[in-house]
Amino acid sequence: MPGFVIDAQGIEKSFGTLKAVDGVSLQVKTGECFGILGPNGAGKTTTIKMLHGAVQSDAGALRVLGRDVATQSRLIRAQMGVVSQEDTLDRDLTVYENLWVYAGFFSISKKASLSRIEYLIDFMQLREKWDSQIKTLSGGMKRRLHIARALIHEPKFLILDEPTTGLDPQARHLVWQRLRELKAQGLTILLTTHYMEEAAQMCDRIGIMDGGKFLVEGPPQTLVQEKVGDEVYELRGGASEELLDSLQGLPVTTEIVADILYLYSHNGMGVMEHLISCGRKDFLRRPATLEDLFLRLTGRELRD
């Protein structure tokens, strides 16, 4: 099998006149972790649903785990775990029954599924909830159960659509911790998230999506360095024409958002000294982040 777990070439999907996915090409290698970032409505979920066959592409070619999604989606799903953005846990069943019934869908024997459930219940810290109804679980527990369910058949490839949205910091940290462990075990992972910090730490490569297309794609640190710079200076309370003019010669890019002036510097040299010499000491100096890149690429206007 060629090394690509996902091999998408120019896939497209329209809903009526709206092009939700507009020519996405993406290749993810075995063992890699790829993160899709993008504002609401960018087309992340639609892209993910195309990978497991819940949405059929209008154009392009899509292979997952070496098979064609259009004709062999069932066989692909047998080796793939999916954590959907929406809650799809079975509310009629208990925590244990959810896992046990789902294992049956993968034709896992009763005995094998029991030991796998034992392991996953501990891995996701759900032991006390073993016999509980789904409606008695907190949001974080539901999400953890979702992930446990997606891992029931020891998949080769895991897809997670916003695994930590709506979770408190404790629950979020636990989920990211577990995902890092899975990655270290060699699992190939594709995820979407709005948490830039975690994505930057976790993902080997990220793609920023907007309007159904990838705007950029690559290793997060490299992208930030190339497209934003090393450091950011934030000056609140606006900036005078004078100050802006005096910055001309320096290796910085400027951006003004409402009453904040952002300076993106490429090698820090001299910027701080310059600001101080201009009498400005009220600035915040910090390393450039993925969020800076995200906002610069996708703009600051609200979506939806």
Ligand X SMILES: Nc1ncnc2c1ncn2[C@@H]1O[C@H](COP(=O)(O)OP(=O)(O)OP(=O)(O)O)[C@@H](O)[C@H]1O
For Mg ion, the binding residues (CB under 5 A) are 44-45, 85
Q: Does 38 bind ligand X (CB under 6 A)?
A: yes
Query: For ligand X, which stretch binds (CB under 6 A), given 37-45, 125-133, 214-222, 236-244?
Result: 37-45
Tell me the C-alpha distance between 141 and 126, whole Å: 7
Of 84 and 188, the one with the shorter C-beta distance to ligand X is 84
Counting contacts by CB under 6 A, is residue 193 touching ligand X? Answer: no
* DSSP class of 236: E
Give 8's strand partners.
Answer: 26, 62
How many whole angstroms separate alpha carbon 162 and alpha carbon 38?
11
Closest distance of CB 218 from another protein, Å: 29
Pair 32, 157: CB distance under 8 Å: no
Task: Return the residues of window 122-151 that contact another protein according to CB under 8 A.
Answer: 150
Q: Does 55 bind another protein (CB under 8 A)?
A: yes
β-pairing, 283-287 vs 231-236, is: antiparallel
Which of 43, 163, 207, 220 touches ligand X by CB under 6 A?
Answer: 43
Choose the contact partner of 74 out of ligand X, Mg ion, another protein, none; CB within 5 to 8 A by kind.
Answer: another protein
Neighbours of 278 (CB within 10 A): 14
Piece of 12-20, 23-31, 130-138, 141-149 that binds ligand X (CB under 6 A): 12-20
CA distance 71 to 26: 20
CB of 79 to another protein, least distance (A): 9
58 binds another protein (CB under 8 A): no
Which helix (H) or strand (E) element contains residue 6? Answer: strand 4-15
CB 21 within 8 A of CB 12: yes
Q: Which residue ranges make up the site for another protein (CB under 8 A)?
A: 15, 49, 52-56, 70-75, 77-78, 82, 84, 86-93, 97, 100-102, 104-107, 150
